Amino acid sequence: MRTAKIASTLALLLLGTAPLFAQVGPPPINPPNLTNPPQTSAPEIAFDSVEFGKLPADMHMGEAASVAVNSKGHVFIFSRGNSIGPAYGAAASQLLEFDASGKFIREIGHNLYAWGYAHAVRIDSKDNIWVADKGSDMVVRFNPEGRVTLVLGRKTEASDENAHPWERVNPPLPPIDGMFRQVTDMAWDPQGNIYISDGYVNSRVAKFDKEGNWLGSFGERGNGPGQLRTVHAIAADKDGNLYVADRSNRRIQVFDGEGHVKRIITIDIPVQEKHLIMYGKDLRGAGSPLSLFFPGAPWSVCITPPKAGSPQYLFAADAFRIFKMTLDGHVIGWLGGEGKGLKEFGWIHGLDCPNENTLFAAELVNWRVQKLTLHPIK
């Protein structure tokens, strides 16, 4: 496992011919030999949308952090709901299962030890349900029956004699093998190895074997190739390549399973004028602190399942748009925009793409999941 060295030159991120948004911190280093050519136009994709899932009257969704679909078409939503008191680090995680029609089936892991802040849910090839809980620094695997079968990481305790390595200090303390700090997502290669995006603090990808044994990690905090800032999501293609949402660097980095950078994908489709103002903040001003809202800064990624005779597609979302891409980063089309209505989005925190024309999008500030049906591009 290794981390790529920092290149010697800086590249300014452009949207069109002039920067519309100020970069917070040093701009990412994206060497031309690794980075897809700039693409500043793509067709808008028409689509239909419905709000998915109906909860019983005594349950509430809260912030929808993530969504995933299993082989039976059941939909799992990991939300920050039904919490009491301060949300972060308390009990702001609930895992909800719905059938394909949106009928509520059950809550999985109710009152599970130490759950603190929902971040991601994924389904593996055996229909096991995996969740990344940012508040407890744990990744938990449930079997299809809803029983815990594996736990990675551990929530630090106030009574731990050596609790200080988990403190959120700046600059961050060195990572600890087998432990996470604000973990975000997970993916698997064809051999069953587990890759964990770790995350807000550690700025790395951790690798475990299929039994949950620690194998190593790659990545470190920075803006060079192989370096990461806010590792927010991860997905794998059928060959085991890893697509890592390097959100604060406004790019997706593609690694092989040993941590070598294969390519860097940037999304440079300009945002429409009507979406430049978000929640009272004008992102065009110099020095804007809201780098996570930069157009093209990836919040979530998903890759369509392998299908004989068909290519896989990469979908990525920034805060309010979704992009359909080839695996080499060419943008086929885009959809969405900021807002509260159907077919509009507010902080797309999780995506799942069971096929190239069906998407599920989990939204934080709109407290919902939308099911999207894409129309053919004309």
- Domain with 188 in it: what CATH number? 2.120.10.30
Identify the residue with better confidence: 174 or 97: 97
State if pTM tops 0.75: yes
Instruction: Evaluate if residue 279 carries a pLDDT over 50.
Output: no
| pLDDT given for residue 122 in this prediction | 98
Question: How many Å apart are CA 262 and CA 252, to the nearest integer?
Answer: 11
Residue 163 lies in a domain: no
Lowest mean pLDDT across 250-259, 279-288, 330-339: 279-288
| pLDDT given for residue 294 in this prediction | 81
| pLDDT given for residue 5 in this prediction | 32
Residue 6 lies in a domain: no
Lowest mean pLDDT across 216-230, 261-275, 295-309: 261-275
| pLDDT given for residue 203 in this prediction | 94
Most trustworthy range by pLDDT among 18-32, 264-278, 286-300: 264-278
Residue 91 lies in a domain: yes
pLDDT tens track for 1-14: 544 332 332 232 22
Q: How many domains does the chain have?
A: 1
Residue 35 lies in a domain: no
Average the pLDDT over 93-99 and give the result: 96
CA 370 to chain centre: 16
Instruction: Evaluate if residue 22 carries a pLDDT over 70.
Output: no
| pLDDT given for residue 299 in this prediction | 97
Range of the domain at 220: 47-154+175-374
Residue 127 lies in a domain: yes
| pLDDT given for residue 89 in this prediction | 53
pLDDT tens track for 227-276: 999 999 999 999 999 999 999 999 999 999 999 999 999 999 988 766 65
| pLDDT given for residue 160 in this prediction | 57
Identify the residue with better confidence: 61 or 285: 61
Residue 261 lies in a domain: yes
| pLDDT given for residue 27 in this prediction | 82
Question: How many Å apart are CA 298 and CA 231, to the nearest integer?
Answer: 10
Name 301's bridge partners: 316
| pLDDT given for residue 328 in this prediction | 97
| pLDDT band (50, 70, 90) for residue 155 | confident
Residue 243 lies in a domain: yes
Cβ atoms of 130 and 212 within 8 Å: the answer is no
Question: How many Å apart are CA 254 and CA 235, to the nearest integer?
Answer: 10
Instruction: Evaluate if residue 305 carries a pLDDT over 60.
Output: yes
Average the pLDDT over 212-217 and give the result: 98
- Residue 43 neighbours by CB distance under 10 Å: 13
pLDDT tens track for 355-369: 999 999 999 999 999
CA distances from 348 to 157, 298, 343, 360 (A): 32, 9, 12, 10
Q: Residue-wise over 311-326: b if at least 16 C-beta within 10 A, else e?
A: ebbbbbbbbbbbbbbe
Residue 278 lies in a domain: yes
| pLDDT band (50, 70, 90) for residue 172 | confident
